Amino acid sequence: MQFHFTLLAVLFFISTLCLGQSLSGIKGIVLNEFHEALDQVSIRIEHADSNTFSLSSDAKGQFFQKLPAGRYQIKFSYLGHAEATNDNILVTDRIIDLGEIILKAQSNTIDAVAITGRKRLIEQKSDRMIINVENSLLSDGLTALEILQRAPGVKVDDDGNISMRGKADVGVMINGKLSYLSQKELATLLQGTSSSSLKSVELISNPSAKYDAAGMGGMINIVLKDGRKPGFNLAVNGFGGGGRKERYGAGLNFNKQEKAFNIYGSYDYTYRGEEEYRNFDRYYAQLGIAGGSAVSNQYSITDEPLNTNNAKVGFDYHPFINTQLGLLWSGNFGTYKNRNAGYKNVFNTSASPISKALTYNNNVSRWNTNNINLSFQQKIGAKDHTLSADFDYMSADYDADQALNTYYQETDYEQAFVSMRKNQTPSVSKLTVGKVDYLHHLSNKQRFEIGWKSSWMNSDNNAINDTLSVADWVRDLGTSNHFLFDEQIHAGYMNYHLESGPWTLMAGLRAEHTNAVGNQLTTNSINKRKYTNLFPSGSLGYRLNDNHQLQFSYSRRINRPDYEDLNPFRYFVDASIFWEGNPLLQPELAHSFELNYSLMKDLHLSLFYTDVKDVMTSVLTQLPEQQVTIRSLQNIEGYRNKGINVNYAFSPVKSFSSINNITAHENYFFGSFREEKIDNRQWSVDFLTTNTLNLPKQWSFELIAAYQSPQSDGVFKQKSTGHVSAGVMKRFLDNKLNLKFAANDIFKTRRYQTESFSGNVRMNQYINLDSRTFLLSLSYKIGTNGKAFDRLNKKNEEQSRIRGGS
């Protein structure tokens, strides 16, 4: 904790020094007509004596420029938008806040179709792909996990594991901060996060040294809406509909920004009903009690209601234009139930029943996650060097109660009996993170970054399993377990960036020291790990001309097993299938290479290759005599992934745009498990097309089609899947009121189906998903929208507004 207090003391000292400074200049934020931030708007400021300043807005649309006292003209230019100018801005001895600058889309009309200047739904940048979730007609009523399932090249399996371009073990960030939750808890958190809270999703295939080295498959950054607009703003939303079960929800977000203060917050509630049909078949080459081969057919219907609550309240304070302090609390609370009823029958080769059983499983999960963030940012000097720091504390409580009841019927091979089991798995995780970053501009073409980050994770996981014996519940000592996990990661990095003519160079190095202790209290077994790794990264770009660009990048990555992977306790899917952790897992290390080519802003092509050592992959242990399947993680020799990604956007007419993404990749897993050779190699193709049509009278239409060919994952092979979804939107009241209707998976083609062969047992799993849904949603925005700056020709009116700035 000494580090925490030292960090806070340094921030307080620096901010105190800043209060005594005095600057003059202008600031503001550039938005489109829908109050969406515009990135890279060209801003030109001219003084009466011919001095000129040129700058661009940042990703949040914000800009700031120090200026000597005087009278200036300012001009804003952005592709597809009308230019905004003001010829008479007087700068004295303070910062002039221009508030919101609204750039209108250029007035183009074809067959009475109005063209608007919204961001593309999918944008391809040099180092990432951005999905602007808030612009989609089909996002309302979905969860963050379902949004990821629709992202180009991203796959989410039935257990919530995320892969990108065929590569598993993807690092997930929320607002640029890495999640330290286990894969299961992260999936629960994302499933409990409404799409109405999301602004965008960023897919970063080859991150620089500034980012955590975690994530063999790259990084996904989920960007939440921040609510930082001048003046008072309020937005409310709601949706209703469903598939086999009803789904509904509502939420609001607000902010009040005035002078140096901004307070903001949001709340979302979602109810998501779901019903699935599951088939799980196993084919035994030899089953002792059958005297030969046998087949097991398992079928169940699930009822899975999900209740989620998301809330946040934040406060920003600018004691001076160069200094920003922030405080944010966010929370995620919810309950998920899985009521499962079905049967399990085992037959021999002559179709005689060996075992017949009715199964009733009931699982109730509850979670309560709270996060506190303190942030600080300081601009230094005339070149705007930047010092920033963050402190985060998170507490996550997770609790699950499970009842597994199996009623076996009499057959020629076994007597009738009842098996009852109840399991409790309470878990408490606490995370503390402190980080400091410094950006130094060596010149207009060179910059240097350096930073430090430390994290402390403590997790207490308990598994209390009881079985019913006669009339009494008896503790199952063979499967009960209490596991403590402590992990510290300390990291430092440096990055150098250079622009020289057509060349762009980025070189970085990150060092991470890991100290982890797993303590299995039940068996008094302790596993300690301590290691240090270096993670170089770099990219070299060349601009052939304004239309053609090339870039090559490399990074070394790591994926550490989380506390649930290491915890040897059993998580029961049902009475005959369960998950078991592996305390002997080792981290996997990867080398990732990528070559990118861009043609203007419309065509982007990537060739990629990743080589992983000691890859962690899912394996199966079959116990045919007990008709039990154990799934766990195991290090095998390696994994290689290679492929090509093409993203192409076009607009044959101005009212229509189409964005198409196709990824072809090969996954190759090799090694052995329990003396069985693993040699699983397969090429796969993912395709996504997103099409938007602007119609007369503020109507718009969106159509999405996706396809994933069969893919390999360790010992598993997944069958093909896909979907077609469509949505329509009508805007009212000067774009303040939006009404949307969305139909998801219209033709009911999205499915989850896998097959595997291990231990002389072939397994097929098929889940009939509750994916065809129909949702109606409504959103309404009100607010003062700050000090609008809208192609101002009324100089006197504008000047009076400027005099009111601070």
> Where does the pLDDT of residue 575 fall: very low under 50, low under 70, confident under 90, or very high at 90 and above?
confident
> Where does the pLDDT of residue 804 fall: very low under 50, low under 70, confident under 90, or very high at 90 and above?
very low
> Contact, 34 vs 700, CB < 8 A?
no
- Poorest-confidence range of 178-182, 428-432, 555-559? 178-182
CA of residue 728 relative to chain centroid, distance: 26
Query: What DSSP assignment string belongs to 283-328?
Result: EEEEEGGGTEEEEEEEEEEEE--EEEEEEEEEEEEEEETTEEEEEE
Please report the pLDDT score of residue 200 as a whole number: 87
Please report the pLDDT score of residue 166 as a whole number: 82
Of the candidates 38, 80, 33, 77, the one whose C-alpha atom is nearest the C-alpha of residue 57 is 38
Answer yes or no: is pLDDT of 796 > 80.
no
Tokens of 546: 């304004």
Answer yes or no: is pLDDT of 117 > 70.
no
Answer yes or no: is pLDDT of 216 > 60.
yes
Please report the pLDDT score of residue 618 as a whole number: 84
CA distance 40 to 769: 42
Please report the pLDDT score of residue 787 as a whole number: 39
CA distance 11 to 325: 9
CA distance 738 to 781: 9
**HEC string of 82-139?**
CCEEEEEEEECCCEEEEEEEECCECCCEECCEECCCCCCCEEECCCCEEECHHHCCCC
CA distance 293 to 90: 89
> Contact, 434 vs 540, CB < 8 A?
no
As a whole number, mean pLDDT of residues 243-248 equals 96
Answer yes or no: is pLDDT of 798 > 70.
no
Answer yes or no: is pLDDT of 685 > 80.
yes
Of the candidates 801, 775, 797, the one whose C-alpha atom is nearest the C-alpha of residue 246 is 775
Answer yes or no: is pLDDT of 291 > 70.
no
Answer yes or no: is pLDDT of 188 > 80.
no
Answer yes or no: is pLDDT of 183 > 90.
no
Q: How many residues does the chain have?
A: 806
> Where does the pLDDT of residue 287 fall: very low under 50, low under 70, confident under 90, or very high at 90 and above?
low
Residue-wise pLDDT tens digits, 582-615: 888 999 999 999 999 998 878 999 999 999 999 9
Please report the pLDDT score of residue 654 as a whole number: 83
Of the candidates 433, 317, 379, the one whose C-alpha atom is nearest the C-alpha of residue 58 is 379
Query: Torsion-angle region of residue 714: left (phi > 0), alpha (psi -120 to 50) or beta?
Result: left
> Where does the pLDDT of residue 135 fall: very low under 50, low under 70, confident under 90, or very high at 90 and above?
confident
Tokens of 367: 């979670």
Residue-wise pLDDT tens digits, 10-66: 444 444 444 444 467 888 888 887 677 787 788 888 876 657 787 888 777 888 888
The phi and psi torsions of 165 (rounded to 5 degrees) equal: 55, 35
Answer yes or no: is pLDDT of 538 > 70.
yes
Answer yes or no: is pLDDT of 153 > 90.
no
As a whole number, mean pLDDT of residues 475-496 equals 92
Please report the pLDDT score of residue 478 as a whole number: 82
428-447 as b/e, with b when 16 or more CB fall inside 10 Å? ebebbbbbbbbbebeeeeeb
Highest mean pLDDT among 159-168, 210-219, 491-500, 645-654: 491-500
> Contact, 72 vs 3, CB < 8 A?
no
The more confident residue out of 434 and 471 is 434
Please report the pLDDT score of residue 288 as a whole number: 57
CA distance 729 to 743: 12
Answer yes or no: is pLDDT of 802 > 60.
no
> Where does the pLDDT of residue 552 fall: very low under 50, low under 70, confident under 90, or very high at 90 and above?
very high
Indicate the pairing of strand 95-102 with strand 25-31. Answer: parallel
Answer yes or no: is pLDDT of 766 > 50.
yes
Tokens of 672: 């052995």
Please report the pLDDT score of residue 32 as a whole number: 81
Please report the pLDDT score of residue 228 as a whole number: 67
CA of residue 157 relative to chain centroid, distance: 15
Residue-wise pLDDT tens digits, 297-334: 999 999 999 999 999 999 999 888 789 999 999 999 99
As a whole number, mean pLDDT of residues 183-190 equals 77
Residue-wise pLDDT tens digits, 695-729: 999 999 999 999 999 988 877 888 999 999 999 99
| Neighbour count for residue 513 (Cβ, 10 Å) | 14
Answer yes or no: is pLDDT of 4 > 60.
no
Answer yes or no: is pLDDT of 116 > 50.
no
> Where does the pLDDT of residue 784 fall: very low under 50, low under 70, confident under 90, or very high at 90 and above?
low
Please report the pLDDT score of residue 67 as a whole number: 82
Answer yes or no: is pLDDT of 226 > 90.
no
Residue-wise pLDDT tens digits, 623-644: 777 778 888 889 999 999 999 9
Residue type for 437, please?
D
> What's the mean pLDDT when you consider all of the chain?
84
CA distance 455 to 437: 15
Q: Which residues pair with 677 in a beta bridge?
A: 672
As a whole number, mean pLDDT of residues 735-756 equals 92
What domains are defined for the chain?
Answer: 2-104+790-803 (2.60.40.10), 122-783 (2.40.170.20)
**Planar angle of CA 588, 590, 595, nearest 5 degrees:** 160
As a whole number, mean pLDDT of residues 517-534 equals 91
Of the candidates 759, 755, 583, 754, the one whose C-alpha atom is nearest the C-alpha of residue 673 is 759
